[in-house]
């Protein structure tokens, strides 16, 4: 029994540190945030905007919808896993201009720390923190 509990706890820790899943951006503009679903395809990780969330000032989700012009937009792509917490060689795309920037990711618990930059070394850029979120659908695939 103790062995089973140990593996269940370890599985939860590993899942919590995975880049795969739903992540909410935290830009703080207009009370709207993108919810990005990151998945693994082959050996790379990429993510598309699946929902737009309405949030309060503390980034608590009030509601979310899949009816928006940005749904399906590939926001991050081509990340390669370095270790369980680090992914690099990726790109982030600006939805307004479609310009691509170099990007890397570090996982810190339920936070995804995304560093986008103009140069491949990450010197000329900015850091954003995304929050892991749980999105649940009913049996019909609807919210």
Find the helix or strand (DSSP H, E) in which 13 lies.
Answer: helix 2-16
* pLDDT number for residue 27: 81
Give the separation between CA 16 and CA 1, rounded to whole angstroms: 23
Say yes or no: domain 2-132 is CATH 2.40.128.520: yes
pLDDT tens-digit profile of 40-90?
999 999 999 999 999 998 889 999 999 999 999 999 999 999 999 999 999
> What's the whole-number mean pLDDT along residues 124-137?
89
- By mean pLDDT, which of 89-93, 129-133, 138-142 is the weakest? 138-142
Give the separation between CA 82 and CA 115, rounded to whole angstroms: 15
Could you tell me the pTM of the whole model?
Answer: 0.81
Could you please report the per-residue DSSP string of 53-120? Answer: EEE-TT--EEEEES-STTTT-EEEEEEEEEETTEEEEEEEE-TTT--EEEEEEEEETTEEEEEEESST
Hey, what are 53's tokens? 């969330």
Q: What percent of the chain has pLDDT over 90?
A: 70
* CA 96 to chain CA mean position, Å: 19
* pLDDT number for residue 89: 96
pLDDT band, very low/low/confident/very high, at 34 (cuts 50, 70, 90): very high
- For the chain, what are the domain ranges? 2-132
Residues 6 or more apart whose Cβ sits within 8 Å of residue 68: 49, 52
* pLDDT number for residue 17: 64
Q: What percent of the chain has pLDDT over 70?
A: 83
Among 65, 68, 47, CA closest to 132:
47
């Amino acid at each position: 029994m103790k062995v089973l509990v140990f593996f269940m706890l370890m599985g939860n820790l590993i899942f919590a540190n995975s880049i795969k899943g739903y992540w909410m951006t935290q830009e703080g503009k207009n009370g709207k945030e993108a919810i990005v679903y990151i998945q693994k395809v082959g050996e790379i990780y990429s993510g598309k905007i699946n929902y737009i969330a309405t949030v309060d000032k503390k980034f608590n989700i009030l509601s979310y919808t899949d009816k928006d012009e940005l749904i399906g937009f590939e926001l991050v792509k081509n990340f390669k896993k370095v270790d369980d917490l680090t992914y690099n060689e990726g790109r982030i795309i600006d939805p307004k201009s479609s310009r691509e920037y170099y990007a890397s990711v570090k996982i810190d618990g339920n936070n995804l720390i995304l560093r986008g930059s103009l140069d491949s070394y990450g010197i000329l850029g900015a850091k954003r923190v995304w929050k892991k979120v749980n999105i649940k659908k009913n049996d019909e695939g609807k919210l």
